[in-house]
Chain A
Amino acid sequence: AQTVTQSQPEMSVQEAETVTLSCTYDTSENNYYLFWYKQPPSRQMILVIRQEAYKQQNATENRFSVNFQKAAKSFSLKISDSQLGDTAMYFCAFMKLFNAGNMLTFGGGTRLMVKP
């Protein structure tokens, strides 16, 4: 079974600054995918960024980038130039390859507050 751990229940950052959210996971799988999802107060889970485990290059998506360390089983999210709209719960998620649906295992979440 997989486990995903987010050690920071809450974080805050000043608008326009950079913040890094931590995520570690445990698995015996070699091929898998990692995701960061954002859940604003509207409760809608929105995909922020994804990483394939077989790719060494870290994924980037505009102001969002990851630091993927496969050997250390670490997958942190960096948000640059933080904006007020980035205030939300952020969930790290693990997905193993599965032939009958994509099952996600989530971490406990980090509540991020961007301050003006």
Chain B
Amino acid sequence: ETGVTQTPRHLVMGMTNKKSLKCEQHLGHNAMYWYKQSAKKPLELMFVYNFKEQTENNSVPSRFSPECPNSSHLFLHLHTLQPEDSALYLCASSQDSPNTEAFFGQGTRLTVV
């Protein structure tokens, strides 16, 4: 365990469903991230939150909606997803200073049917 916990571990949802992914860290970090890992593409950064403020939105479609209520929690709200959104969604956290390690959760395996 790295101190970053993601729930659920697996999620199957229909294209008309609304669901949320949760990430929690107890490492005292002030930056949190969402990454998408697809089968045929490198890990892609989706969002960055620093001190609860979103500092990066990497051209992510609006059907993905992040929320960071505090420095320890990060959510990814999903609605009207497409089958190509099926992937492993990884959450990470770090201090916002250079040369600091990013700690990753075990990811949520999302399947959109």
Contact = CB atoms under 8 A, between A and B. Distances in A.
Interface string B10-51: 000000000000000000000101010000011101001110
Contact of B43 (A42, A47, A91, A97): A91
Q: Which of B33, B42, B109 has the most CB of A within 10 A?
A: B42
Contacts of A98: 98
B55 A102 contact: no
16 contacts: A43-B107, A45-B104, A52-B99, A91-B42, A97-B98, A98-B98, A100-B96, A101-B33, A101-B49, A102-B31, A102-B94, A102-B96, A104-B35, A104-B43, A104-B102, A105-B45
Nearest to B47: A101
Contacts of B92: 45
A103 B90 contact: no
Given A4-B42, A108-B42, A101 B55 contact: yes
Contacts, number: 67
Q: Which of A52, A98, A99, A102 has the most CB of B within 10 A?
A: A102
Nearest to A91: B43
| Interface magnitude class on chain B | 20 to 34
Contact of B2 (A46, A101, A103, A107): A46
Interface of B: 2, 31, 33, 35, 41-43, 45, 48-50, 53, 55-56, 88, 90, 92, 94, 96, 98-102, 104-107, 109
